[in-house]
Amino acid sequence: MKTSLRIFIAGLALLLLGSLPALAAGTDDASAMFKGLKGNLDISGGTAHIPVMKAAAQSIMAVNPEIRITVAGGGSGVGVQQVGEGLVQIGNTGRALKDSEIEKYGLKTFAFAIDGVAIVVNPANPVSELGKDQLKKIFAGEIRNWKEVGGKDAPIILYVREDGSGTRETFEERALDKGQASDKSNVVNSNGAMKTAIGQDGNAIGYVGIGHLDATLKGVVLDGMVPSQENAKNGSYQVTRLLYMNTKGEPQGLTKAFISYIYSPAGSEFISGAGYLPTGAF
């Protein structure tokens, strides 16, 4: 899996365009692709997807007032459930669908972006690098004080995502080698909530999608791997995942047009602008 994903990532082409050209291209593409369409489109699920979905929705609705698109989060598990039950037309996940989900709901899946998952601490924390064995012991509750890994004498406060989160699944599978965090960890329900928690707690450790890294967080170097989208692209950072749009059955009409738009040049610019890597054509 790691080798194939590295090869796949290495073959991607990034569109490095400025925000104004991206907006113009997005409007032009939307005018052509959504001409004559109307109706409502509801999207929910993984929170990492929201910036891309919102940018696309705003561009579409700006040129076609007869289309209304709503974008909500809730996590990957919510995305699967709501699209499967027909509550939304697109359910987003930050992980691949399980065979049981595909069989139960008859879902189709469309990978549109690659994201890395970064281990993060508060910027005031002097710890900047951890080995994977240290990380596993920290999240298992075996290492409980920062001084044990070169930090100050202070308790380590664990933060994790909720059950069903694609970010959590990627973190546990790739950073913890399929291990699980201590049941004493604090649980937050979005990348945004994780950023707030880590930013406010000098002794905290958690994880976010690399696209969410900013000055309020410090990305931890893991086994020499520096968390960045460039390193996710070239394969040197291996805590990575695909982002998916999922539909109940083959997409039709407005839903199909929206998915095609995400795979268009304008959609690739929205994906790159959100800090992710576009996967290529629909």
Tell me: the pLDDT tens digits for 227-238? Answer: 998 898 888 999
* 271 pLDDT higher than 50: yes
pLDDT at 281: 55
pLDDT at 30: 86
- Residue 229 bridge partners (DSSP): none
* 38 pLDDT higher than 90: yes
* Predicted TM-score (pTM) of this structure: 0.72
pLDDT at 27: 58
pLDDT in tens, 101-113: 999 999 999 999 9
Q: What proportions of the chain, in percent to the nearest 5, are helix, strand and coil?
A: 40, 25, 35
* 19 pLDDT higher than 50: no
Strand boundaries in the chain, DSSP class E = 39-45, 67-74, 90-93, 107-121, 129-130, 157-161, 186-188, 204-209, 218-219, 221-222, 240-248, 277-278
All structural domains of the chain, each given as residue ranges with its CATH number in brackets, are: 2-115+242-278 (3.40.190.10), 117-234 (3.40.190.10)
pLDDT at 234: 86
Residue 240 contacts residue 116 (beta carbons within 8 Å): yes
